[in-house]
Amino acid sequence: MSTEDLSPRYLDLDRLSAIEQVGLLHESQAEAIAAVQPALPAIAAAVEAAAQRLRRGGRLVYCGAGTSARIGVQDGAELRPTFSWPADKVAFVIAGGEKALLRAVENAEDSGEDGADQIAKLGVGPDDVVLGIAASGNTPFTVAAVETARRLGALTIGVANNAGSRLLAESEHPIFVDTGAEAVAGSTRLKAGTAQKIVLNLFSTAVMIQLGRVYAGLMVEMQPTNAKLRQRAEQMVVKLTGCDAAIAAHALARSGGKVKLAVLVVAGVDVAGAETLLDRSGGSLRAALATVRGD
């Protein structure tokens, strides 16, 4: 596996000064960013397929072990506060269980049976999207989880950093990111981990855009759960409508803090009518506003 290779570039890493060490490590992180570019078509195809399933009420399920599991949880946990993605529409299948997010659980990644069992217990089905993440692409837990999910009819996406791996072969939508040898051989928390995080950033954000949860570059489904976010919601309404802050605040109060509804209220629609418009437009504020304006 290329992620286990020893690179001549880093053989003297331990003999260098701190500034030279961090310089080389930074260089390797830049390589991770570049490695994602060839995978963009595969990511885009996965986004389009996933959005179709999620529109039908499916869940987004992240599967992984070790570093890959932690990166998956980091991505999935942000979907609710950023996009108001329902808590019951995201799930995690983690080798060793939730405790493994804080401390390594020995041999957990080797249990394919556990991966398959966790998928079965979740009741994964045809509307669900199961995303397996593994640098090696051969982690038994993750491969078995994806194999089982695909057999149950779920859409399966695999993210791996080694070509020809089982995870890529078993996934409907394989996403291969060729990060190669690490600065510290086999330490896939480095380049491979960075590339995985970028892939998930691109994938989940694009899916949420496809589902109408972003408008004009703004997170219009954001939950204003604290003072900072309430101010951000107000600023978004001002930016999108041209109204003053007082009108924006009043519209948000009438709309339960929901930015999309508040924008439509400022445009002259009552709250019930705004809810109907958004429902008919599949949650798209752009389409709802076009209806109001007669575009």
The string over 76-113, giving b where at least 16 C-beta atoms fall within 10 Å of a residue's C-beta and e elsewhere, is bebbeebbbbeeebbbbbbbbeeebeeeebeebbebbe
Which of 159, 181, 210 terminates a domain? The answer is 210
Which domain range does residue 236 map to?
A: 227-293
* 81-117 per-position pLDDT tens digit: 999 999 999 999 999 999 999 998 888 999 999 999 9
- Residue ending a domain, choose from 159, 176, 210: 210
Beta strands across the sheet bearing 60-64: 90-94, 60-64, 129-134, 155-160, 173-176
Q: How far apart are CA 167 and CA 7, in angstroms?
A: 25
Catalytic pick from 4, 27, 31, 109?
109
Instruction: Report d(CA 132, CA 189) in Å as an integer.
Output: 16
CB atoms within 10 A of CB 163: 12
Domain check: are 110 and 250 in the same one? no
CA nearest to 149, candidates 179, 168, 133, 172: 172
138 domain residue, yes or no: yes
Strands annotated E in the chain: 60-64, 90-94, 129-134, 155-160, 173-176
Nearest to 189 by CA among 17, 64, 43: 64
* Six token digits for residue 85: 């993605």
Mean pLDDT of 134-153: 97
Supply the pLDDT for residue 210: 95
Cα angle vertex 221, ends 202, 263, to 5°?
Answer: 130
Q: Is the pLDDT of residue 123 over 80?
A: yes
pLDDT the model gives residue 197: 98
Q: What is the 8-class DSSP label of residue 39? A: G
For residues 154 and 128, what is the distance between their CA atoms, to the nearest angstrom?
A: 5
Is residue 288's pLDDT more than 90?
A: yes
* Token duo for residue 27: 């260089």
Average pLDDT (142-156) is: 98
User: pLDDT per residue over 191-212, tens digit each?
Assistant: 999 999 999 999 999 999 999 9
Looking at the domain assignment, is residue 35 inside a domain?
A: yes
The predicted structure's pLDDT at residue 54:
97
Question: What is the mean pLDDT of the segment spanning 17-31?
Answer: 96
Is 4 annotated in the active site?
no
Same domain flag for 136 and 171: yes
Tell me which amino acid residue 273 is. G
What whole-number percentage of the chain has pLDDT above 70?
Answer: 100
pLDDT value at residue 104? 85
Residue 78 bears catalytic tag:
yes
Q: Which long-range contacts (CB under 8 A, 24 or more apart) does 8-11 make?
A: 9/183, 10/181, 10/183, 10/184
Both 163 and 274 in one domain: the answer is no
Question: Looking at 162, 181, 210, which one is the last position of a domain?
Answer: 210
pLDDT at 115: 97
Q: Which amino acid is at 186?
A: G
Assess whether 204 and 232 both reside in one domain: no
pLDDT at position 135, please?
96
For 185, list phi and psi in degrees, rounded to 5. Answer: -50, 125
pLDDT of the residue at 254: 95
CA 108/CA 96 separation, integer angstroms: 5
Supply the pLDDT for residue 1. 80
Indicate which residue of 20, 31, 48, 78 is catalytic.
Answer: 78
Q: What rounded mean pLDDT belongs to the chain?
A: 95
Domain count, the chain: 2
Inform me whether the pLDDT recorded for 258 exceeds 90.
Answer: yes
For residues 279 and 271, the answer to whether their CB atoms sit within 8 Å is no
Residue 220 falls inside a structural domain: no
Nearest to 158 by CA among 138, 188, 183: 138
**Over 90: is that where the pLDDT of 266 sits?**
yes
